Amino acid sequence: MAQEPRPLVAGNWKMNGLTASRSELEAIIAGAATLPDTVDLMVCPPATLIASFAEAAAGSRIVIGAQDCHAAVSGAFTGDLSAEMLKDVGAVAVIVGHSERRALHGETDAMVREKAMAARRAGLTAILCVGETRDERDAGATIARIERQLDGSLPDRLDGLVIAYEPVWAIGSGLTPTPKDVGDVHGMIRNYLISKDKAAGSGTRILYGGSVKPQNAKELMSVPHVNGALVGGASLKADDFLAIAAAYA
Ligand code: PEP
């Protein structure tokens, strides 16, 4: 197997966190300084906290990401934020196509692709999420579903891209696929990426996301072609987030 990329553990805080949450970030920063330098670490707070978190994290091991962006640079899009705006306040990455945005905001693969392209235009890493529903898994349609999402939402170039495989039914449910099932999907994604661009496709990180906890992190992170985690609920507590990152210690 070719050399796999350096792992990344990213926390998706979703719509959680107030200015007082800076103390949790400070605990993450302090704990991260004691971990071996074998993993990259990112926190994606709500957009309201990006600027202050980026300031607090400057010079530390933690980088700050955003959870969504609009595809345009600027314009009449009330309430939206462009990738350039996120970069301007200190984000280095943005999650695009999270299943909550696909399901609750009607985001299509084509929209997700535009957002991923916007991220690269602004100089941000795009963390592009794909994943099957429970019904699709039960119908044996997982691989076909992920392939369709990749066909529809991958940007034209793979540089500056991270893929997150997040089974919809595993998010926030406490359920996870078996390591074999995770390995099957990650292996397929790796092959797909390599078929698009051999060099960039071998170096693209493929994260697993969906109910990653300190208790299951080591097992999930040891699966071939798993290059880290996208962590929701467990990323809100410094101790849990750091314990997950320590799977790479
Ligand atoms: C997520 O929403 O990206 C996620 C992985 O959530 P959780 O870890 O809470 O399942």
Going by pLDDT thresholds of 50, 70 and 90, the confidence category of residue 32 is very high
pLDDT at 53 > cutoff 80: yes
* Domains of the chain, first to last: 8-236 (3.20.20.70)
Report whether residue 235 contacts ligand 1, using a CB cutoff of 6 Å: no
| Ligand 1 geometric centre to CA of 25 (Å) | 18
Going by pLDDT thresholds of 50, 70 and 90, the confidence category of residue 3 is confident
Candidate list 24, 100, 166, 186, residue with the active-site label: 166
First vs last C-alpha separation in the chain = 22
Pairwise CA distance, residues 226 & 80, whole Å: 32
In three-state secondary structure terms, 220 is: helix
At residue 107, the pLDDT reads 98
Report whether residue 171 contacts ligand 1, using a CB cutoff of 6 Å: yes
Looking at residues 136-140, what average pLDDT do you find?
98
**Active-site residue flag, 166:** yes
Contact 137, 173 (CB under 8 A): no
Q: Which of 128, 231, 237, 244 to mutate to test the pocket of ligand 1 (most atoms within 8 A of CB)?
A: 231
Mean pLDDT score of the chain, rounded to an integer? 97
At residue 89, the pLDDT reads 98
pLDDT, tens digit (0-9, with 9 covering 90-100), for 79-132? 999 999 999 999 999 999 999 999 999 999 999 999 999 999 999 999 999 999
pLDDT at 2 > cutoff 80: no
Apex 83 CA angle, 78 and 84, nearest 5 = 95
pLDDT, tens digit (0-9, with 9 covering 90-100), for 205-239? 999 999 999 999 999 999 999 999 999 999 999 99
> Strand 161-165 to strand 205-209: parallel, antiparallel, or no bridges (unpaired)?
parallel
Q: Which of 9, 13, 14 to mutate to test the pocket of ligand 1 (most atoms within 8 A of CB)?
A: 14
Contact 18, 53 (CB under 8 A): no
Sign of torsion over alpha carbons 154, 157, 160, 162: positive
Percent of the chain clearing pLDDT 90 (strictly above): 98
At residue 179, the pLDDT reads 98
- Around Cβ 106, how many Cβ atoms within 10 Å? 8
pLDDT at 249 > cutoff 90: no
Q: Which atom of ligand 1 is nearest to the CA of 164?
A: 3
Pull the structure tokens for residue 116: 């991923």
User: Per residue, what are the HEC states of 75-140?
Assistant: CCCCCCCEHHHHHHCCCCEEEECCHHHHHHCCCCHHHHHHHHHHHHHHCCEEEEEECCCHHHHHCC
In three-state secondary structure terms, 208 is: strand
pLDDT, tens digit (0-9, with 9 covering 90-100), for 189-202? 999 999 999 999 99
Q: What is the pTM of this model?
A: 0.98
- Around Cβ 90, how many Cβ atoms within 10 Å? 19
In three-state secondary structure terms, 9 is: strand
Instruction: List helix spans (H) across the chain.
Output: 22-32, 50-57, 83-88, 99-104, 109-122, 134-138, 142-153, 179-196, 198-203, 214-221, 238-245
| Ligand 1 geometric centre to CA of 220 (Å) | 14
At residue 1, the pLDDT reads 58
> What amino acid is encoded at 35 in this protein?
L
